[in-house]
Every structure is written in structure tokens, then in C-alpha cells.
Amino acid sequence: MNSKISKKLETLLLKNIRDVYDFPKKGIIFKDITTLLSNPEAFSTLLDHLENRYNTFDLDYIVGIDARGFIFGAILADRLKVGFVPIRKKGKLPSETFGQKYSLEYGYDELEIHKDAFNKKNARVLLIDDLIATGGSAKAAESLIKKACGFCVESCFIVELEDLKGSDNLDGRVYSVLKI
């Protein structure tokens, strides 16, 4: 398992992630991955990298955080032939759920997972999302995986904003493809 990406992949990904200034509010530089998703070479190469990394992890499920984690998680789950489980914002899942609140800059939000998300106790789970900043939503997702009787083998992020130290707030192993 190689955790370092090649310079070629790093360059390709960075070239295809757009900076949007003052979004969602003044002073923020938003890392927009929609440009990466729309480039077939960059997107496919990234997924090849993730598939190669996780094909020996003996995973049962991949859990994606609403909404961009769904994109990477569902495709990777298909490639690895494992189940995909969504963690959604409060009120979006149709059956019984566990909920977990987390802090935002101004207030709180809440994520949920179906109580029956995993069909076995201690299911081996990979958590995935597009970006980790402060780690609030990822920490809440880790907690939800535990509540649903899963074991989070690793949390994976396409981009980590290192200065915000969000990965330090997580309990388990963290892998970030790009650290900015």
C-alpha cells in the first residue's frame, strides 16, 4: 500500500481543482472539485489510485458523507465490489436513523445514518469525503459508523486543508490524497 501519490497525479489533480474566492462567504477560498469531476482523465486516474490503495483493505462498506462523498464513495464501492452507505443531513433518510450533531462556525448541523446500515456487526468501513477542513462532519460520521456497529478502518479525503488540522480531531487513521 503506497500512501504517497506520484508527482504526475498530484499535478493533474491540483490543475483540476479550482479556487473560488469569497465563497461561501468573504475571505474563504473554496476548493471546487467540480472541475476535477468534469475532467475524465483526472477523475478516472484519481479513482484508479483509490481503488489500488483500498483493494487489499478487506472492506465491507464504503460510507460517503453528504453530498460529495457520495460521488467518490459510490463509484469506489462499485469498483471494490462492496456496499455503499450514505450519511446524510438530518431528515433526508427514510427509515430509522442514528443522528449526530456537530459544530459549524456559527451553530450546529446534524448528520444521520440508517440504524440498519450494516448487515453485520463490526463491518469494516471506509469513510470518504471530498475535503476535510476542521473535521466536524467527519468526526460526526465516525461516531455514526460506531453507533451503527461498524468499524471505521480509515477515513479518506481527496483534499485536506492542513492548516485547519481537521484530521487531528478524528479517532482513526486518516488518508488524504492531497494536502494543501
**Selected catalytic residue, list 68, 79, 110, 124:** 68
**Selected catalytic residue, list 10, 79, 96, 105:** 105
Burial of 63 (0-12, 13-18, 19+ CB in 10 A): buried
Is 129 within the bounds of a domain?
yes
CATH, residue 143? 3.40.50.2020
Structural domain including 62 reads: 57-179
Is 48 within the bounds of a domain?
no
Is 20 within the bounds of a domain?
no
Is 10 within the bounds of a domain?
no
Mark 148-178 as b/e (b = at least 16 C-beta within 10 Å).
bebebbbbbbbbbbeeeebbeebeeebbbbb
Tell me what pLDDT residue 3 has: 61
Mark 75-97 as b/e (b = at least 16 C-beta within 10 Å).
bbbebbebbbbbbbeeeebeeeb
Instruction: Please write the tens of the pLDDT for every residue from 81-134.
Output: 999 999 999 999 999 999 999 987 667 999 999 999 999 999 999 999 999 999
Q: Is the pLDDT of residue 2 over 50?
A: no
Is 138 within the bounds of a domain?
yes
Tell me what pLDDT residue 172 has: 94
Q: Measured at the alpha carbon of residue 156, what is the angle toward residues 144 and 82, in degrees to the nearest 5? A: 75
Q: How many domains does the chain have?
A: 1
CA dihedral 76, 104, 10, 65 (to 10 degrees): 0
Is 36 within the bounds of a domain?
no
Instruction: Please write the tens of the pLDDT for every residue from 146-172.
Output: 999 999 999 999 999 999 999 999 999
Tell me what pLDDT residue 25 has: 87
Is 8 within the bounds of a domain?
no
Instruction: Please write the tens of the pLDDT for every residue from 6-43.
Output: 999 999 999 999 999 999 889 989 999 999 999 999 99
68 is a catalytic site residue = yes
